[in-house]
Amino acid sequence: MACNTLDLLNVLGKKWDATVLEEITKNDGINFDKLLSLNPKIYPKTLNKALNDLVKRGLITKKVSYNNNMKRSEYSMTETGKSLVSAFETFKKVNCNGSESVKNCGECQNGPNGNNQEVSNPIKI
């Protein structure tokens, strides 16, 4: 089994996971349909898998409620998830053209919702 750090890097390395985490951070208690509408290029099946993975890793919680026999799921950040997003914000400041005003991944022209999928300033190792 890989260490927790590598496991989390694999999560953030997936196309939509960072974007989903950022949306849940901004919109505590957000539901599936709202997440889908905020990220028009994500397929519902992909969003569902991302949410399940993030719940499984303890980064977000899922609260299910019923209203008139309608199932409603809401997603919120855990303290671990908040810490990870905070560290991710620092990482983005270094990696996204060195800018202090870094956009969310879903809003960036290079992010999954953007037109340009190429990374303009990749990390050099």
Asked if residue 42 belongs to a domain, the reply is: yes
Task: Round to whole Å and give the CA distance between 20 and 75.
Answer: 10
Task: Please state at what angle helix 17-26 crosses helix 4-13, rounded to 10 degrees.
Answer: 90
Structure tokens at 42: 């994500």
Name the average pLDDT for the chain: 78
Residue-number span of the structural domain to which 80 is assigned = 4-95
What H or E segment, with its residue span, contains residue 72?
A: strand 70-77
pTM, full prediction: 0.70
Asked if residue 123 belongs to a domain, the reply is: no
Asked if residue 108 belongs to a domain, the reply is: no
Q: What is the pLDDT of residues 5-32, one digit of tens each?
A: 776 677 777 888 888 998 999 999 999 9
Alpha-carbon radius of gyration of the chain:
15
Q: Residue 74's beta-bridge partner residues? A: 31, 63
Cα angle 72-33-67, degrees, rounded to a multiple of 5: 20
Q: Averaged over 76-81, what is the pLDDT? A: 93
Can you give the pLDDT at residue 90? Answer: 75
CB 15 within 8 A of CB 112: yes
Asked if residue 23 belongs to a domain, the reply is: yes
CATH code of the domain in which 14 resides: 1.10.10.10
